[in-house]
Amino acid sequence: MKGFIALCRGLNGWMNTVAEAVLFIMMTLTVIDVVFRALYKPIVGTYELVAISGAIVIGFAVPRTSWEKGHVYVDFLVERRSDAVRKGFFIATRLVGIVLFALLSWNLFVKGAHLQKGGEVSMTLHIPYYPAAYGLAFCFLVESLVLMADIARIFAGENRYE
């Protein structure tokens, strides 16, 4: 169990580093494009690159955000309940999340295969879309693993169910 938790921790750390790097590149590209537009020489395809980069940043940041409980948490349903009820609610929501993200991962993988087979590319730069779909499928698969690790962390005593 500790090995699985360590694997998930390492994976989501690596993915967060990728998200940070892509975000930096995306911001740099946007600033350079704005400056060049002022000089009447915009960078061709900036919109496409920023859109694809945005998907990558969001997808690769989801597992780390979940791991660190950085998302919005509404606890009014369970705040005055016993520890057992809160723990059960935590586990139940994680199980629903596992199923949801596994289905998202599977469907994005299928979509990626469809995009690859059809040869779908962006209009200006002709960037293929399927690597982004496969990348997001991987991200949501890792998110499912992180949610499983959340449950494992409860039983290992590492995690509070909040």
Averaged pLDDT for residues 3-31: 95
- Burial category of 100 from C-beta neighbours within 10 Å (exposed 0-12, middle 13-18, buried 19 and up): middle
- The answer to whether the CB of 66 falls within 8 A of the CB of 143 is yes
The per-residue pLDDT for 161 is 60
- Taking residues 44-60, report their average pLDDT: 96
How many other C-beta atoms lie within 10 A of the C-beta of residue 119?
Answer: 10
Report percent pLDDT > 70 for the chain: 97
- pTM of this prediction? 0.90
Per-residue tokens: 34:
């704005």
Give the whole-angstrom CA distance, residue 17 versus residue 23: 10
Mean pLDDT of 62-89: 84
Query: By CB neighbour count within 10 A (0-12 exposed, 13-18 middle, 19+ buried), where does 19 fall?
Result: buried
In the prediction, which pLDDT does 120 show?
96
Q: Residue 160: which pLDDT band, with cuts at 50, 70 and 90?
A: low
Confidence check: pLDDT of 81 > 90: no
